[in-house]
Structure 1
Amino acid sequence: MRRAPSPHASDQWPRAAEGEGQARRCRKRPGRLLAPSRRRYQIMLFGKISWQLCGLKKLPWSNDSRYFWGWLNAVFNKVDYERIRDVGPNRAASEWLLRCGAMVRYHGQERWQQDYNNLPTGPLDKYKIQQIDATNSCIMNMGFDHMEGLQHVEKIRLCKCHYIEDDCLERLGQLENLQKSLLEMEIISCGNVTDRGIIALRHLRKLKYLLLRDLPGIRDKENLVQAFKTALPSLELKLDLK
């Protein structure tokens, strides 16, 4: 007998979009999901987008797989505005971040969410992103529209994010929702970040802690320190730019 749908089904967090959740069937044994991995997720999702490859006469990544993964990472960062409208900014941003290999922690919860196929279900307004850990993720500027509408993000960690560049940080500094909520930020080993992107973070007026480590693109440390002292005098700025 089929179970009747919930009378409030439209107010529930759905599981992954159709086609993206099929990978939950791939398990080591019943009841146990595979360990989360961005590369594994990319392979699992490949079936959904493989039809796009059928019309290509020449594979541009045939001589270097980096072209392929760069293209695929761009697919993962593409913004689906209808999805944001249907499920809300927190759910849509969660899907984007986990799809790209990042993790999120929701307000009022201790556990980090890192398995895309195990995203929680429930009321749309229940799970609000409080922290983002994008270590080793493939998030890039074209996906940052997902950040709009997130009202409760207090901490963001960007570590070894090869696609993060100045435009991404400038975008973060311009978002009014983050200007009102973001308290801590860590940027570590992001080789494409320069002084221009870091200085743009001075607009995050609630920022209390900023860690900058292993950023070879930063050239004028003194000017950087002075800019933050002027804009955010109460900020704790930690620099390790060797």
Structure 2
Amino acid sequence: MIIPRIVHPTFKPHPASYRYFWGWLNAVFNKVDYERIKDVGPDRAASEWLLRCGAHVRYKGFDKWQQDYNGLPTGPLGKYKIQAIHATESCIMYRGFDYLDGLEHTEEIKLCKCIYIEDTCLERLSKINNLQESLRRLEIISCGNVTDKGIIALNTLRNLDYLFLSDLPGIQKRQTTIEMLQKAIPSLHVELDLD
């Protein structure tokens, strides 16, 4: 005989339990499915990952942002190419960045209030060959785990025209960091709002 466990109606789990659960779930959302990438192509698989994690995407030739995972467009594979990614308060993290490997048309990425974005994410982003060619605009706002090291790693994004940095307390040597970036990418315009 199983005796049901009775929980008092005012019982509240410890906040650390919530953090652990959400951290685990977010890690699951970021797990890369390489078979899915092969089956549907990099843009569709990356769209699914980004929307599952709370980000939005805009496709080349379209003005509307895709926000609804269940409303992802269908049609011939390869028709919808990701041109822009807007990740505000999304749970994207390093382990999911392999989804970005095959993107060839992504010109703009905005990372805002993403608690899992850290230096290793920016280092990974800067090593993606296709993004080194296509990425033109990057905004990093209120991502508390980003430091000078992560920003300096962006120096391989050779076609980056515009970089906006705001509310990044981990950046301690802003002048040196920006000078290093602009030396590596002379055409780069950097806008700072770090105070």
What is the TM-score normalised by the length of structure 2?
0.92
In structure 1, the gaps of 5 or more residues are 1-59
| 1:176 alignment counterpart | 129
Aligned residues between the structures: 183
Change beyond 3 A, Cα 1:218–1:76: same
State the shift of 1:188 in Å.
0.1
Change beyond 3 A, Cα 1:64–1:93: same
| 1:229 alignment counterpart | 182
Identity of aligned residues (%): 67
Q: Give structure 1 regions of 4+ aligned residues with deviation exceeding 2 angstroms.
A: 60-64
* 1:62-104 residue CA offsets vs partner (Å, 9 max, x unmatched): 8521110000000000000000000000000000000000000
In structure 2, the gaps of 5 or more residues are 1-12
| 1:204 alignment counterpart | 157
| 1:194 alignment counterpart | 147
State the shift of 1:61 in Å.
7.6
- What's the C-alpha RMSD, in Å, of the aligned pairs? 1.3
| 2:54 alignment counterpart | 101
Report the AA paired with residue 69 of structure 1: W
Q: How does 1:64-213 map to 2 (within 5 A)?
A: 64-213=17-166
Partners of 2:155 and 2:122 in 1: CA distance = 10
Residue 123 of structure 1 aligns to a residue whose secondary structure is coil
Partners of 2:41 and 2:17 in 1: CA distance = 38
Residue 211 of structure 1 aligns to a residue whose secondary structure is strand
Partners of 1:134 and 1:185 in 2: CA distance = 11
Partners of 1:194 and 1:62 in 2: CA distance = 28
Contact 1:61 1:68 in 2 (8 A): no
Contact 1:136 1:161 in 2 (8 A): yes
